[in-house]
Structure 1
Amino acid sequence: MDRNVIICRSILENPAVTQRDLSKELSVSLGTVNNLIKECIEKKYIEIGNANDLYELLPAGQALLNDNKVDGAVIIAAGFGSRFVPLTFETPKGLLEVFGERMIERQIRQLHEAGIRDITIVVGYLKEKFEYLIDKYQVKLLYNPEYSQKNTLTTIYHARELLRGRNMYVLSSDNWMRHNMYHAYEGGAWYSASYMEGETSEWCLDYNKKGRILNVSVGGQDKWVMYGPVFFSKLFSEQFLTVLENYYNLPGTEQFYWENVYMEMLSGEAAKRLPHIPEAKQDIDLFINRRPADEVYEFENLEELRRFDLKYQHHSDNEAMELVSTVFKVPESEITEIRCLKSGMTNKSFLFKIKDRHYICRIPGAGTELLINRQQEKAVYDALSGLDITEKVIYFNGETGYKIAEFYEGTHNANPSSREEMERCMAVIRRLHKSGLTVDHSFDIRERIDFYEKLCKAHGGIPFDDYSAVRKQMTELLDQLDKLNHKKVLSHIDTVVDNFLMMPDGNVRLIDWEYSGMCDPLIDISMSAIYSYYNEEEADDLIRIYLEREPSEEERFTVYAYIALGGFLWSLWAVYKAALGDEFGEYTIIMYRYAKNYYKKCFIIAK
C-alpha cells in the first residue's frame, strides 16, 4: 500500500492533521510517520506552511492523489439472508433498518459524503425492492441471474466489467459502519479487518510488517479477521479478475465466495488449478485495513441484530413475528432460536422457540393463493383433528394460509429406500383412507391439469415438442379412470416422503395437507411413488405394501394411470413455476417422463 497517498489524502482532508492522527490512521508508530512525512516533503508532495505550521498539499501530491482516485462502488445485495428469517421473507437483508435507517442507504449516504456517486447495486432476491434507490440516490442496478444457486464468486463475475480498470469499493449491503470510512482516494487494495479475541470461526488474516496479507485461514484464535468493506485497486483487479473468471468456469466452485479465489491465490492452490493462467501464479497485493473495535458490524443473524437495535426485540414490523407474538400472547423478545427451515416448493417456513418448546410457522409463497385453496386446507385439518395422524396445529388462518404447528424433536423424514419405513407410512395412508372422514371438496386431477395448462400457456407456453400428443394420451387415461368410477375417500395427494415424520416413539405423522381432498385413494400410492423417483419394480412393491396383497390388474392400471397423470400434472406445475422465476432442475423432465412411460405401461395392462 502506498502510504504516501494516505499522508497526502489526510492533509487534503485536514491540513491541521497531526502525526498522532496519521499514526492512528496508518496503524504505524510515530517514528514511522515522521519518516513518511520527510519522504513526502522530499518528493515535493507536501510542505509545511508558514501559518501555524500547517501542512500544505503541493501539485505533485495532488497528482499522486489523482492517480489513486476512487472511481465508484459495487454493493453486493443479491442474497437471501436465511439467518434473518422471517424478516427477509419480506425484505432483503440490506434493506433492514438499524436505528431507523436502512443499512444500504447508510452506506450510499456515506459514499456520497466521500464524493463517490458512481454506485451499482448487484441485486437478485426480491430485486424489485431496490428499484426505488435509482430515483432516491441515482444508483444503478445490476441483476445476478444466478443468485439463488451460487455464491459471491458469481456476483463478482457478473460485476467484473464494472471493476476492470477502475478503483472501486466492493461492499456488502448488510454491513453497518458507525463512522464513515470511505474516502475519495485510496492508496492500494485493502480488506477491512476487526480484531476477534478468543476462538473465532471468521476468516483470519496473517500479514507482514507493511500490512500485506500473506495468508487467509477459516477459524483461529485472537486474530484480525476479514470484516466489512473491501477496496479493489486497478492493479488488484487486473490480476484478480482474470483468475476469478477462470474459477467461474471450474466445476465445484459454485458455492465459492470471491474470497475463496483470493485465498487459493495466496496458498498456491490457484496455480495448481489453473496452471495455464500466468496471473494465478503471481503474488497478489491486498492489504489489511485494521479498524477500531465497534466500528464495523456484520450482523450474523437476527439475534445479533436484536441485541444491537432493541427495536427488533419489541416491534420488528414483520407480519410473521407479530402473528407469533399475538398467538402466544408474548412480546417479540420472547420469540427465540429463530432459524430458516428448508423452503418447500410452495411455502416458506421458520422454526422458533417460545419458553421451552419449538414451533414452526409456515408462510405461503408468493402467488400460492392462486394455486391452493387455504379454506379447503383448513377444512381438512379440522376434519382430521380427532384422528391423531398429522402435526398438532396451534393456529391456522384460512384466509392468509399462515399456519403455526408444533415442532417434533428427534424426528426424521421417511426414507424411500427403507421398506420398513415405507410400510409404516403406508399404514398411516390406509388408516386415513379407512377413516370415513369426508370434506366438501375433491381433488380433481382433470381440472388441475386444465388449470395448470392454462397458466403455462398464459406465461410463455409449454416447452415440450410432443406436448399435444402426450396431452391426448393423458385425456385418454382420464376418460378410462372416469369409467372405473372408484369410490372417493379423503386422500392426502402430496405423499412425498418429506411429509412423513418418523417419530422417536415409532409413530408417524403426515403433514402438509395443501392439496388434500376427496379422491380415488390409489392416487396417494402413485404420488408417493413418483415423488420418490421409484422405478416400476419399486412402484409395484409399494402397491403391495399398501394393499397388503398382490394387486388386481385394475388396481395396478389405476396406480400406473395416476403415476402418468401425476407426472404430467407436476411437470406443468414446474413449467409454470419456472416462468415465475423458480427453477427445479431436472424435476420437470423426470415428471414428464413418468407421464410418457407409464402411459405405455397402462396401455400394456389394458391389452
Structure 2
Amino acid sequence: MNIVDKSVLKKIYQFGKMSQRQLSNVCGFSLGKVNQSIQFLQKEGYIDDNWTLTNKSQDLIEAYKPKKAIILAAGLGMRMVPINTEVPKALLKVKNETLIERLILQLHEVGVTDITVVVGFMKEEFEFLIDEYHVHLVCNMDYARKNNLCSLAKSHSDLVNTYIVPCDIWCESNPFHACELYSWYMIKEERTDNSSVRLNKKYELVKTKSDEDSDTMIGISYISFEDAPQIARRIYAMADKREYEHSFWEDALYEKDKMVVAPYVFNGAYEVNTYEQLRDLDEDNETLNSHLMHIISDTLHCDLSEIVNIYPLKKGMTNRSFSFEVNSKRYIMRVPGEGTDKLINRRHEYDVYQVIKDEHICDPVIYMNPDNGYKITEYIEDAHACDASYFADVSDCMKKLKSFHDKKLVVHHTFEVFDELEKYESYWQGTPSIYRDYKETKKHIYELKAFVDTQPKEWGLSHIDSVPDNFLFSKDSLYLIDWEYAGMQDQHMDIAMFAIYSLYDRNDVETLIDLYFDGECDDMVRIKIYAYIAICGLLWSNWCEYKRNLGVEFGEYSLKQYRYAKEYYRIVKEELEERGMCLCTK
C-alpha cells in the first residue's frame, strides 16, 4: 500500500463514500490515481463495494492511531520582538485563545491526551497547563544557545505514533486526525524565502536549491511506528554532537536531499513567529499594544501601524535588540537582557551619553530611558563591525579610541573593576566557581591589583566595553557604540578589554599595544596592560558564571577569559622578575 492508497483510505474514513471526483479534490491526486487506488483497496480487502471499511482497515487504523504529542515551546522567540520580552509566544492570544491551548484542545478532539510540552524561556508561565490539561512539562535549559533539535531530544520520547508540534502555529481547522496511516510533515502551498523544502512532482519533500522556490514549512509532523526508530536514533545522535547545536529537528528527517516522510499539504495553518504575522492574522489583538511599540510610536510621533519590517538582531551578550522602519527610515531599539539590572547602572549610562552626545563619537541616540535602559538609535546603513583579525581595521579603531581618550571627558562615577568582580561573584549566591583553582587564581589577581595601584594612570572617561563589535564602520564615519559599562578609570584598561574580547594571543596583544601607542609604549605601561588583561579576564569570567546560572552560555569566550586571568598573571610575574622586581604576595 503506497501513500496514495493510504491517503484515499484516510479520506474515506473521514468523509465516507463520495464521488471519485470529490475524492480526487479532497486528496489532491488525479482522478486516474484515485480510481486506481479504489480498485486496489477493494481488491486487497480494505473496503467493500460500498466503500465501507473492513476489519482489515480497522486493524490498520488501530496500528497507526496517534498516541501522543510533543509541543516544542522552549525558545526565546526572538523573531517575535518586541512582544517576546513580555510573554512566551506559545501563550500569545490569537482571536481570544492562546496558541498552545488551541493546539492542546485540537489534539484532545482526536483523542490525543498524552502531551509533553518542552519549555525553557519563561518556563514558569506554563505551569498552569499541568493542572488544566494534565500535560507533562520537560525543561530545556539550553534554550538560549541550542535550537529545537535539542528540545525534542530532551523529551526522551520513542516518537512512536507521535505528533511533533511547534508552539507558534494557529490552524483554522483541526490539522490532527484520529486516523493517521503514515508519517508526514506539514507544508503550505505558499511561496517563501524562509524555507528550504518544496513539493516535487513525485509528491516528495525535497531540499530546494538556491535558485528554486520553496513551499512554506509549517513544522507540524506525525511520526508513525514504522519510521519512529530511525528518526529517533537520528535525533538523539545529532543532539549529542556540537555541530548540530543550532539545527532544527527537521534536519533529522532528511536522507540526502529528500525527507523520509510524506508531505501533508494544509493551507489553513498560519505561523505566528513575528509581530507582523500576528498583526496580519489578528489586527485587533490586544497583545499588539506592546509598551515597547508605544515607546517607538511616542518617540517618532507615528501610528503603531506605521512601524514595519521588524527584525531581531543578533542576540548580544547583555541585550536583545531589534530593527524596525518608520516612514522608510530604519532604527534599532535595545531591550536589556536577563539579569541586566544587576549588572548595569542605567542612570550612569544615561549620564555618559549626556557627556558624549555632542562629541561625534557614538551612533545617533534619539531615545534613552535612564531607569530601564531602553534605547532607540538611528540605524547606520552599510555598516560593519571591526574585524579583529584585520589589523587595518584595528589600527583605525585604536586611533579612534586614542582620540576619545585624549578628550579626557569626565563623569561623576567610576568603574571600579574589583568592586565589579566581587559583585559578580556575589551573584552566584554561594554556588562555588566551576573552576577548581578559582580561589588561587583570584588570589593572584589581587596580587596584580597591588601592582597596578602603584602605577601611573591615564585617568578619564573610559569605555570599558571597548570590544571590536562596538566599533562600527560606516561609509564616512567610525562610531564607538554601547557605553553601558563606561565610567572613570585608567584609560589603558580599554586596550586590555579590546584584546581579551578579540581572543588575541600574545603576538596579537603586542601588535594591538603598538598600534595604540604608535610603537612607543613604555615597558612598565605595557606590563600594566598585561595586568589589566589578567584582571579583566577574571572580571568577565565571573560575569559569564553569573549569566551561566541564568541559562545563558558563551562557549569558548568564558573559558578564554579565565585563561587570560591565569596566563597573564604569569606573564606579568615573569616580566617583572626579568627587571629585578616582584609582585606583592601578602
TM norm structure 1: 0.85
Instruction: Give the aligned residue type for 2:262.
Output: F
The alignment status of 1:449 with 2:445, answered yes or no, reads no
**Structure 1 residue aligned with 2:277:** 304
Secondary structure of 1:122 counterpart: strand
The alignment status of 1:372 with 2:352, answered yes or no, reads no
CA distance in 2: counterparts of 1:71 and 1:220, whole angstroms: 40
CA distance in 1: counterparts of 2:330 and 2:92, whole angstroms: 26
Using the TM superposition, give the Cα deviation of residue 199 of structure 1 relative to its aligned residue in structure 2, in angstroms.
8.7
**Structure 2 residue aligned with 1:101:** 97
Contact 2:464 2:494 in 1 (8 A): yes
Equivalences for 1:480-559 in 2 at 5 Å? 480-484=451-455, 486=457, 488-505=459-476, 507-548=477-518, 550-559=520-529
Contact 2:338 2:550 in 1 (8 A): no
Q: Give the direction of change, closer, same or farther, for the CA distance of 1:145–1:376 in structure 2 (3 Å limit).
A: closer
CA distance in 2: counterparts of 1:394 and 1:223, whole angstroms: 40
Contact 2:153 2:235 in 1 (8 A): yes
Equivalences for 1:70-81 in 2 at 5 Å? 70-81=66-77
The alignment status of 1:464 with 2:435, answered yes or no, reads yes
Secondary structure of 2:170 counterpart: strand
Instruction: Give the aligned residue type for 1:118.
Output: D
Contact 2:205 2:263 in 1 (8 A): no
Q: Give the direction of change, closer, same or farther, for the CA distance of 1:149–1:491 in structure 2 (3 Å limit).
A: closer
Query: Which residues of structure 2 form unaligned runs of 5+?
Result: 582-586
The alignment status of 1:406 with 2:402, answered yes or no, reads no
CA distance in 2: counterparts of 1:517 and 1:167, whole angstroms: 59
Instruction: Give the aligned residue type for 1:471.
Output: K
Instruction: Give the aligned residue type for 1:461.
Output: P
**Structure 1 residue aligned with 2:78:** 82
Q: Give the direction of change, closer, same or farther, for the CA distance of 1:553–1:316 in structure 2 (3 Å limit).
A: same
Q: Give the direction of change, closer, same or farther, for the CA distance of 1:100–1:220 in structure 2 (3 Å limit).
A: farther
Contact 1:315 1:332 in 2 (8 A): no
Contact 1:564 1:595 in 2 (8 A): yes
CA distance in 1: counterparts of 2:561 and 2:213, whole angstroms: 53
Using the TM superposition, give the Cα deviation of residue 377 of structure 1 relative to its aligned residue in structure 2, in angstroms.
0.8
TM norm structure 2: 0.88
**Structure 2 residue aligned with 1:433:** 405
The alignment status of 1:203 with 2:178, answered yes or no, reads no
Instruction: Give the aligned residue type for 1:478.
Output: K
User: Which piece of structure 1 moves more, 565-574 or 21-30?
Assistant: 21-30
Secondary structure of 2:308 counterpart: strand
Instruction: Give the aligned residue type for 2:101.
Output: E
Using the TM superposition, give the Cα deviation of residue 319 of structure 1 relative to its aligned residue in structure 2, in angstroms.
2.7
Name which structure has the greater RCO, CA cutoff 8 Å, separation 6+.
Answer: 2
Equivalences for 1:217-232 in 2 at 5 Å? 217=208, 226-232=217-223
Q: Give the direction of change, closer, same or farther, for the CA distance of 1:131–1:376 in structure 2 (3 Å limit).
A: same
The alignment status of 1:186 with 2:180, answered yes or no, reads yes
CA distance in 2: counterparts of 1:65 and 1:479, whole angstroms: 77
CA distance in 2: counterparts of 1:516 and 1:42, whole angstroms: 80
CA distance in 2: counterparts of 1:85 and 1:544, whole angstroms: 43
CA distance in 2: counterparts of 1:462 and 1:568, whole angstroms: 12
Cα deviations across residues 324-377 of structure 1 (Å, max 9, x unaligned)? 112112111111221111221111111112223221111111211111110011
Task: Return the match for 1:260 from 233, 248, 251.
Answer: 251
**Structure 2 residue aligned with 1:235:** 226
**Structure 1 residue aligned with 2:139:** 143
Percent of residue pairs identical = 36
Equivalences for 1:55-134 in 2 at 5 Å? 61-134=57-130
Quote the RMSD (CA, aligned, Å): 3.2
How many residues in Structure 1 have an aligned counterpart in Structure 2?
Answer: 576
CA distance in 2: counterparts of 1:308 and 1:74, whole angstroms: 25
CA distance in 2: counterparts of 1:4 and 1:205, whole angstroms: 19
Contact 2:66 2:180 in 1 (8 A): yes
**Structure 1 residue aligned with 2:323:** 351
Query: Which residues of structure 1 form unaligned runs of 5+?
Result: 50-54, 268-283
Using the TM superposition, give the Cα deviation of residue 583 of structure 1 relative to its aligned residue in structure 2, in angstroms.
0.9
Contact 2:197 2:206 in 1 (8 A): no
The alignment status of 1:340 with 2:318, answered yes or no, reads no
User: Which piece of structure 1 moves more, 395-404 or 460-469?
Assistant: 460-469
Using the TM superposition, give the Cα deviation of residue 563 of structure 1 relative to its aligned residue in structure 2, in angstroms.
1.4
Secondary structure of 1:94 counterpart: helix
Q: Give the direction of change, closer, same or farther, for the CA distance of 1:21–1:106 in structure 2 (3 Å limit).
A: farther
**Structure 1 residue aligned with 2:558:** 588
Q: Give the direction of change, closer, same or farther, for the CA distance of 1:66–1:220 in structure 2 (3 Å limit).
A: farther
Using the TM superposition, give the Cα deviation of residue 12 of structure 1 relative to its aligned residue in structure 2, in angstroms.
6.3
Cα deviations across residues 86-128 of structure 1 (Å, max 9, x unaligned)? 2223333333332232222221111112222111122333333
Contact 2:318 2:340 in 1 (8 A): yes
